[in-house]
Chain A
Amino acid sequence: MSKPRRRSNFVTAVGLFMAANILLSIFTPINFNLYRFPYKGWAWWTFNDLRHHPETHNVALLGSSLMVSAVAGADANYLNRPLDSTTHHNAEYFDHKLKQKFGGEFHTFNLSAPGQMPSDAYLTLKAMLATAHRPDTVIYGVAPRDFIDSSMTNPTDTEPFRFLTRLVSTDECASGLFRDPLGRLEWFINRNLYLAHHGLDIQMKVGDYQKLLLDKIAYPPNGQVYDFWKRNAIIPSYKAGEFHPRSLMVLPMTAAQKSEQFRDNNAEYMERYSRPDRHTYSTQFYFLRKLVNLCRKERIELVLVNMPITKQNIMVLKPQLYIKFIGQLKQFAFDSQVSAFDLNDFCQYNYELTDYHDYVHLNAFGGFKFFDNLTEALAGNNRLASTMEISGQKLSRDRVLVENRIDIRPDEINNVFGQEIRDGRIKLKPNIEKALDYENSKRIGPKQQLSM
């Protein structure tokens, strides 16, 4: 009879596996580009654009598709040209209005994304700060859907959240992310186990080697690799929702097209409002508070805006719930000492049904109205008006300064933001570091916004 073993191969294997993870965490032998992501969704394109445009943005917009459609529609008409959603992240019409109203220079970066909830908005702003951009003012357009969307379960389920957690840490908000211990356990494993934390990076690296190998032994016939368009035609269900340059264009619209393009989306919102969940609601307010605190810490002026939606959509939600939401939002703003505007006040603002693409999304004409009203609302608040004036003047001065005194070639800056992110820190080339230090020191102190 064989003697029972006292040693377990499995336990030895677990020990070696843990040791490998610890050693990899200590020595970090592989450099990963955190901006690489296999799914090119809205958040990826936004940050791809942001990191390749290092100029100062003194205003940032946050919000869901309601903000996206207002900005895109207004800009397409204002610039009178089609806009590519992968590259157009400015708000030219809004900049024009702000400049008109407050003088100086305004350069707005539009961080809004379809489906963005306060949890996404918080991480989006945090990631923007991590890419060395610090706006003076953040305008966040909110609507009831952002707090109760029944199609979302955990904040971690959204595409922006998955991408942005690669760029910034979620340690300080982990308590608000999960509704069950398993979710938290998964987060803990992904956070602390090197191979789990960098699983996606390693997958992409392995994918690169696989491609190299396949190019050698199974080279595409005539060198023709199928692009995004052909891939979508052949396997439409793969990476559904991903988009590429020229795949999502916003076209200028004429007044005659207003009613032609109107679409009834009540059925979709019936589903989205169908199971308002107290946990999701309180979780999203938790993240809104985190956003307020982040802005306060970074000395950013945060402005909350209740986005215009139609009465028909409010009827789907139920008016009493809507009124309750507005009340809570105002109370929240008051408690947090944040400026808030209800741009959907039916007594004060007059949006026609023809200002909308559907029952919630403003079209180009609605977009114009919205930014006109927003600019007036900002001007009507003394504190905000002076903040905007100072911000406009400062950007104007900075631009002159950068253009005249600091000689940085655009390709040098692109190089900086293209590759050297390692362990959450951006490593800068010495000459550029000096130049950016000089710029940063004027605003928020040395390199504060460069570390995550």
Chain B
Amino acid sequence: MLFNSLQYLVFLPTVFLLYWLLPQKARVPLLLVASYVFYCSWRPIYGLLIFGLTLGTFLLVPFIEKARLSETGKHIFSAKAWLTIIVSINLLLLGIFKYAYFTLDMVKGGLSLAGIDWKEPHLHIILPLGISFFVFEFIHYAVEVYRGKPVVKSFMALALFAGFFPTQIAGPIKRYQDFVPQLTEKFKFKWEYVDEGMQLILMGLAKKVLLADNLALVAQAGFAHPENFSSVDTLFITYAFAFQIFFDFAGYTDVARGSALLFGYKVPINFNLPYLAHNVSDFWNRWHISLSTWLRDYLFIPLGGSRCSLWLNYRNLFITMALGGLWHGAAPHFLAWGVYQGLVLILHKEYLRLLEFTGIAKAIQNNPTLAKVYHVFSVICTFHIVCIGWVFFRAENMKNAWDVIGKLMTVPAELMHFSLNQLTILQLRDPIIFPALIILIPGLMISHVVVNWLNDKSFYKNPPWAVQVGVMVALMCLLTIFSPDSSPRFIYFQF
């Protein structure tokens, strides 16, 4: 069931009405049933997978706590062993469903290099929706219990933690300490839930349907046939994809958060104006926040984090980002994207060291005007560094990625003798989104700045009544008019 489908438009109000009409004690079971209905609407058999994994985690995690409490540190290995078993089961399932084909391809490639012609078996595996997200939530739960947090006593609570339908398919990745206590709260119906929730849902759908789906046309054409476009066209196409993926995923997150809010639940935010980041490290504090904090807490820190030698710190960063890339998809171009992110993070740290060493950092700090100019320059540079990374992310394969990167590398040379005649996007009038990029891309960049300014003014906390109603009516009209017959799936559904 997609958030941008009529099915969901019927499902959500039905669950909402039942939820608030039923007595308190029946609400959590209702949400659990609704979540399984939501999940099984795609492929009922995979309902068993999420159920089995929940049951396994529910039964095994208390052993970590028991081992930890009874042995008071003397036999900590035992708790560690339980943790290893639970994490291994989760990762094994993720590996089988997500990386089996990738592994076979790698083995086949390796063997063919050795001159062995091996025909890999066909496995008939279909990736279960959302597996990457709920597996990460289970691992987080097991690790937190190992670190001393309490276990979840109720199976229903743990099942709803992983299965909660607004966040089931593509996050945000929740923390059980934040979510599970909400299940025992006695929520009373408030109109604020409806208003804020529906506003988020409408905003999210607008981001997806009005912006991401239209920009997808550009990215699809540009990445499928880069040879048909000039270098400057390709730059616009890369910008288009940068905004497509942002609005697609941010749109999904808004709908998820809005849907949760309708029932009184709060789930974490995932984005904070990522394209206003002034360096790549800042970018990762603003982009897919629930994943980057998960990677930090459960991969980077266990690897040694930054409290170690510089080279070990770099190694940890590199491994974390490379695995983070692979988490997005079992394909070399996703791995390349992760490796690229790791490398630019390391380079950024080296760059900061260089600025410190030469005293430039202090000079910038001491001059407010220079600091402002430098900040703007940093934001622009960071955006472009991120955009180059998106090429690996979006490409069909590595060759395709290098073709596009190759085009982007020639942008400065093309700009030296640039003429509008070279721009293919200006000559297309159908679909109109191509020439509209000339206005849309700067508009979207400016919108980030405006939203940031409104955030600073706390506008969103208490917007005027008329503005809130006006925006909602406008969004309803726009979504009714521009909803295509078949809106594509959210990008992050495939992960």
Interface-lining segment among B43-51, B67-75, B191-199: B191-199
Would B439 and A217 count as touching, CB distance under 8 A? yes
Would B465 and A185 count as touching, CB distance under 8 A? no
Q: Complex Cα distance A111/B430, Å?
A: 28
Count how many chain B residues have C-beta atoms less than 8 Å from C-beta atoms of the other chain: 45
Q: Complex Cα distance A6/B194, Å?
A: 12
Would A182 and B432 count as touching, CB distance under 8 A? no
B18 within 8 A of A: no
Which A residues touch B435, using CB under 8 A?
Answer: 214, 218, 220
A residues 173-232 near B (Cβ < 8 Å) are 182, 185-186, 193, 195-196, 199, 202-203, 207, 210-211, 214, 217-222, 224-226, 230-231
Would A185 and B481 count as touching, CB distance under 8 A? no
CB closest chain-A residue, reference B476: A17
CB closest chain-A residue, reference B7: A182
Q: Complex Cα distance A267/B426, Å?
A: 42
Would A221 and B419 count as touching, CB distance under 8 A? yes
CB distance from B188 to the nearest CB of A (A): 8
A4 within 8 A of B: yes
With A9-B469, A17-B476, A199-B482 known to touch, is A221 a contact of B420 (CB < 8 Å)?
A: yes
The contact of B428 among A5, A8, A182, A234, by CB within 8 Å, is: A234
A151 within 8 A of B: no
Which A residues touch B225, using CB under 8 A?
Answer: 234-236
Would B472 and A13 count as touching, CB distance under 8 A? yes
Instruction: Produce 1/0 per residue, A367-409, CB < 8 A to B.
Output: 0000000000000000000000000000000000000000000
Would B480 and A196 count as touching, CB distance under 8 A? yes
Instruction: Produce 1/0 per residue, A1-34, CB < 8 A to B.
Output: 0001111111111101100100000000000000
CB distance from B186 to the nearest CB of A (A): 15
The contact of B431 among A4, A7, A14, A238, by CB within 8 Å, is: A238
A237 within 8 A of B: yes
The contact of B195 among A10, A221, A224, A238, by CB within 8 Å, is: A10
Would B476 and A4 count as touching, CB distance under 8 A? no
Q: Complex Cα distance A237/B219, Å?
A: 12
CB closest chain-B residue, reference A18: B476
Would B194 and A224 count as touching, CB distance under 8 A? no
Which B residues touch A225, using CB under 8 A?
Answer: 427-429
Q: Complex Cα distance A19/B438, Å?
A: 36
Would A20 and B473 count as touching, CB distance under 8 A? yes
B15 within 8 A of A: no
Which B residues touch A162, using CB under 8 A?
Answer: 485
B residues 414-428 near A (Cβ < 8 Å) are 419-421, 423-424, 426-428
With A186-B6, A220-B426, A221-B420 known to touch, is A14 a contact of B476 (CB < 8 Å)?
A: yes
CB distance from A311 to the nearest CB of B (A): 35
B447 within 8 A of A: no
Which A residues touch B195, using CB under 8 A?
Answer: 8-10
A347 within 8 A of B: no
B217 within 8 A of A: yes
Would B432 and A211 count as touching, CB distance under 8 A? yes
Would B10 and A238 count as touching, CB distance under 8 A? no
Which B residues touch A240, using CB under 8 A?
Answer: none
The contact of A195 among B192, B432, B480, by CB within 8 Å, is: B480
Which A residues touch B455, using CB under 8 A?
Answer: none
B397 within 8 A of A: no
Which A residues touch B428, using CB under 8 A?
Answer: 225-226, 231, 234-235
Would B431 and A218 count as touching, CB distance under 8 A? no
B residues 256-290 near A (Cβ < 8 Å) are none
B residues 457-490 near A (Cβ < 8 Å) are 465, 468-469, 472-473, 476-477, 480-483, 485
Q: Complex Cα distance A225/B190, Å?
A: 54
Q: Complex Cα distance A207/B429, Å?
A: 10
Which B residues touch A203, using CB under 8 A?
Answer: 481-482
CB closest chain-B residue, reference A200: B481
A256 within 8 A of B: no
The contact of B191 among A5, A207, A220, by CB within 8 Å, is: A5
B293 within 8 A of A: no
The contact of B221 among A13, A16, A210, A237, by CB within 8 Å, is: A237
Q: Complex Cα distance A235/B483, Å?
A: 22
Q: Complex Cα distance A230/B483, Å?
A: 28
Q: Complex Cα distance A17/B7, Å?
A: 21
With A13-B476, A233-B228 known to touch, is A8 a contact of B194 (CB < 8 Å)?
A: yes
Would A221 and B468 count as touching, CB distance under 8 A? no
Q: Complex Cα distance A231/B217, Å?
A: 13
Would B481 and A202 count as touching, CB distance under 8 A? yes
Q: Complex Cα distance A304/B121, Å?
A: 51
Q: Could you tell me the dominant secondary structure of chain B's interface residues?
A: helix
The contact of B190 among A4, A195, A233, by CB within 8 Å, is: A4
CB distance from A38 to the nearest CB of B (A): 8
Q: Complex Cα distance A11/B224, Å?
A: 44
CB distance from B308 to the nearest CB of A (A): 49
Would A16 and B473 count as touching, CB distance under 8 A? yes
Interface centre among B192, B431, B476 (most CB of A within 10 A): B476
CB distance from A25 to the nearest CB of B (A): 13
Q: Complex Cα distance A226/B424, Å?
A: 9
Q: Complex Cα distance A280/B419, Å?
A: 55
CB distance from B468 to the nearest CB of A (A): 5
Which A residues touch B438, using CB under 8 A?
Answer: 214, 217-218
CB distance from B473 to the nearest CB of A (A): 5
CB distance from B363 to the nearest CB of A (A): 41
Would A4 and B191 count as touching, CB distance under 8 A? yes
Q: Complex Cα distance A274/B309, Å?
A: 64
Would A7 and B191 count as touching, CB distance under 8 A? yes
Would A221 and B423 count as touching, CB distance under 8 A? yes
CB distance from B366 to the nearest CB of A (A): 42
CB distance from A160 to the nearest CB of B (A): 15
CB distance from A424 to the nearest CB of B (A): 21
CB closest chain-A residue, reference B419: A221
A residues 243-263 near B (Cβ < 8 Å) are none
Which B residues touch A238, using CB under 8 A?
Answer: 217, 221, 431
Instruction: Produce 1/0 per residue, B304-330, CB < 8 A to A.
Output: 000000000000000000000000000
The contact of B427 among A9, A220, A236, by CB within 8 Å, is: A220
Would B424 and A231 count as touching, CB distance under 8 A? no
CB closest chain-B residue, reference A201: B481
B88 within 8 A of A: no
Interface centre among B431, B465, B480 (most CB of A within 10 A): B480
Q: Complex Cα distance A211/B468, Å?
A: 31
Q: Complex Cα distance A25/B435, Å?
A: 34
Would A234 and B191 count as touching, CB distance under 8 A? no
The contact of A16 among B191, B199, B469, by CB within 8 Å, is: B469
With A186-B6, A217-B438, A221-B419 known to touch, is A8 a contact of B477 (CB < 8 Å)?
A: no
Instruction: Produce 1/0 per residue, A137-175, CB < 8 A to B.
Output: 000000000000000000000000010000000000000
Instruction: Produce 1/0 per residue, B88-99, CB < 8 A to A.
Output: 000000000000
Which A residues touch B217, using CB under 8 A?
Answer: 235, 238
Would A221 and B426 count as touching, CB distance under 8 A? yes
Q: Complex Cα distance A222/B468, Å?
A: 45
With A222-B421, A234-B221, A238-B217 known to touch, is A211 a contact of B429 (CB < 8 Å)?
A: yes
CB distance from B187 to the nearest CB of A (A): 13
Q: Complex Cα distance A225/B431, Å?
A: 12
B436 within 8 A of A: yes
Which B residues touch A222, using CB under 8 A?
Answer: 421
B220 within 8 A of A: yes
Would A5 and B192 count as touching, CB distance under 8 A? yes
Besides A218-B435, A234-B424, A235-B220, 18 other CB < 8 A contacts? Answer: A8-B191, A9-B465, A9-B468, A17-B476, A17-B477, A182-B6, A185-B6, A199-B480, A199-B482, A199-B483, A207-B432, A210-B432, A214-B429, A217-B439, A218-B438, A219-B426, A220-B429, A221-B426
* 19 A–B pairs (Cβ distance < 8 Å), ordered by A: A4-B190, A9-B195, A9-B469, A10-B191, A11-B191, A11-B194, A13-B469, A13-B472, A17-B477, A193-B480, A220-B427, A221-B420, A221-B423, A221-B427, A226-B424, A230-B427, A235-B228, A236-B225, A238-B431
List 4 tightest A-B contacts by C-beta distance, closest first: A13-B472, A235-B221, A8-B191, A221-B421
